[in-house]
Amino acid sequence: MRRFFYAPEASSSADTFAPLASHALGDTLSLTENVQHHWCRVLRANVGDTGVLFDGFGGEYVVELETISKKSATVRLLEAFDIQRTAPMLTKIALVMSRGDRMDYAIQKATELGASAIQLLSSHHGEVTLKPAQVEKKLLHWQQVAISACEQCGLNRPPLIIAPMPINAWLTAEADAPLLVSEIIAPLAQSPYYKQLLRPADMRIVLSVPAAGMPTMPPTLKTILQKDMPYIELLIGPEGGLSMDEIIHAQSVGFEAWQIGTRVLRTETAPVVALASLQSLLL
């Protein structure tokens, strides 16, 4: 069955959004415009077809299309499943933005590998610095990339894509600073699962360019990963790497270097390799 992310429309108030868990089986609810357009118009679904909705608050719900009109559709809740496919750890990737498809790829694959949040950054050697007028549009686009990846891979909790900051401002920010995200995902940022991202990370790691004498792995990483729901922050620089000042700043606030292999990874490949390596260490 097709899977769809059920969220309030960007123009609606987050205060009026009712999570799927607040509805009883047998209830009828209206599909959001995005889901209605994709399922009923693009995929040409018919009354009686079934699909799966998830809203990021946990679990997923089988629904049946009851009515379809030109601009709206309703479904009936048939079944609820408390299925969670997230990794038993929290991971926030602090990623310096890159251009075009490379950034989409990095977000898509980090989502498939279970990232909890992606903090967008600009840096000295970075290719992208967004103007204020561009931020909301790009933030919504990248959040939609993450949501689409969840719909495809089966994750029920999409990563929060957090508004961009200069790297030095982010490094000096308080751990419990508000998470600035797109309106489409704003209700999730207030839920207990995602509020865990406001606590200090158990370990902060900066992926380093291979060089003689650099550690292949932080010595306490395996121990940290034995904790109940460990929280790891990963800092990943741009194609040109972090500047020496940025590396020194990161180390001064507790980041430890991790050199994965002997090859230089592209900025869109690094999140995939780092997350896969962390998950293999959990086994």
Beta bridge partners of 232: 91, 203
Domains of the chain: 3-81 (2.40.240.20), 90-282 (3.40.1280.10)
pLDDT of residue 8: 64
pLDDT of residue 226: 93
Edge-first strand order for the sheet with 60-68 is: 3-5, 50-54, 60-68, 73-81, 28-30
Calculate the alpha carbon distances from 18 to 21, 30, 171 in Å.
8, 12, 35
pLDDT of residue 241: 87
Which residues, including other chains, have CB under 8 Å from residue 42's CB and lie 6 or more apart?
A: none
pLDDT of residue 7: 86
- For residue 51, which amino acid is it? G
Give the separation between CA 245 and CA 266, rounded to whole angstroms.
Answer: 21
Q: Give the mean pLDDT per block of 10 residues along the chain (283 residues).
A: 82 61 94 93 96 96 96 95 93 94 96 97 89 92 97 96 96 89 91 95 88 77 94 93 92 92 86 94 84
Structure-token pair, residue 275: 């997350």
Stated pTM of the model: 0.92
Give the separation between CA 242 and CA 148, rounded to whole angstroms.
Answer: 30
